[in-house]
Amino acid sequence: MILPEHIPALFKEELTTSILPFWLKHGLDPVHGGMLTGLGRDGSLLESDKSIWFQGRAAWTFATAYRVARKNEEYLLVAKSCLDFLKNHGQDDDGRFFFRVSREGNPVIKRSRYVFSELFAALGGAAYARTTGEDSSWAETIFDQALGTVEAGILQPKFLRPSEGFALPMIVIATAQELRAANPKRTKQYNALIDRLIEKIQRLFVNEEHRCVLEQTGIDGTPQFDHFEGRLLNPGHAIEGAWFIMKEARLRRDRDDYFSLGKKMLDWMWEWGWDREYGGIIYFRDVLGHPSHEYWHDMKFWWPQTEAVIATLLAYHQTGDDHYLTLFNQAYDWALRHFKDERYGEWYGYLHRDGSLSVDLKGNLYKGPFHIPRMFLEGIELFS
């Protein structure tokens, strides 16, 4: 069993010898700047287009790694390269960010339903400002514009049926937390925003009757159980939101109610998500026990495992309850045994339900240097 006092050294070792070196060697684009994420098992380039999400996410990862794990100047250079690429190639003329661009930075895909590209850009910019002490106004402007886009109602809805989704409020919370750390002068403003969003999550998505966190509801929180999407449970996503809320309680110190809410979300969604037969967090469940409509519903993706590790560590840190230390060890041990590539470094991303390998690529437009290093960085910071 891994004990709390071993976590900082253990996590630093994994992060700085297996994870970050893979992306430094294979992901960083020495010609055009920014981060390439479409990589094979050995780091070979499978896709030359760049994810705009991952320019912001990688900036967060490497800036935070410099602050938390190791004062390696190369980390800051990578973070700056990703931010420079974002500033030079990430935005359209209307101020909205692209989703995917060519290696050189030419537009490929612009998504009109979401502001996640904007939020991850703000997240990375805030982390860089926090680490370097530089001005955070660029990140704050991007964040404010993203919120304005949402509030203006100009995003193309995924469904014409009035619905609310869990993803947006949760990602806004995490971004606001980083911006607040970068610019404490706006603490009151960010606290108020986070308070509103946590209240929204509790009111709309935390379902007491079924002891779960729903991914989608009606705009007043009414369940949409007549539809596949309304019955959908994403345990890893809900557990991620749970630790964002528990982290807010730890940072604020005066919000025990937030910790209770986040821990309840973790407890419930662990029961839904942990695969008692094969281990690991499963991808989707149906709240009424019906067959899931997504063909990958029973796969094991890398990122739900990392969220389970962070959430159980936070719960243990705040309660001292050995139950959560046991869950942490359970989640971390399973993930490391099944996902880690001992030969080339980093983790695989996609396993079948039984833990066997589905594909051996190391990155794509959705997997890159973010969830795995964030797991290690949160653990290091929590127990250092």
pLDDT averaged over every residue in the chain? 98
> 357-379, pLDDT tens digit by residue?
999 999 999 999 999 999 999 99
pLDDT at 158 over 90: no
- Closest by CA position to 338, among listed 366, 312, 357: 357
pLDDT at 157 over 90: no
pLDDT (0 to 100) of residue 264? 99
- Tally of domains within the chain: 1
Mean pLDDT in residue range 153-175: 94
Q: Whole-angstrom Cα distance, residue 104 to residue 126?
A: 25
Side chain identity, residue 345: G
- Closest by CA position to 86, among listed 50, 115, 131: 50
pLDDT at 160 over 90: no
Q: Do 41 and 360 contact (CB within 8 A), yes or no?
A: yes
Q: Whole-angstrom Cα distance, residue 124 to residue 139?
A: 8
> 262-301, pLDDT tens digit by residue?
999 999 999 999 999 999 999 999 999 999 999 999 999 9
pLDDT (0 to 100) of residue 159? 84
Supply the DSSP symbol for 276. Answer: T
Domain of 72, CATH number, reads 1.50.10.10
Domain that holds residue 21: 4-383
Name residues whose C-beta falls within 8 Å of residue 206's C-beta, 6 or more positions apart in sequence. 213, 261, 264, 265
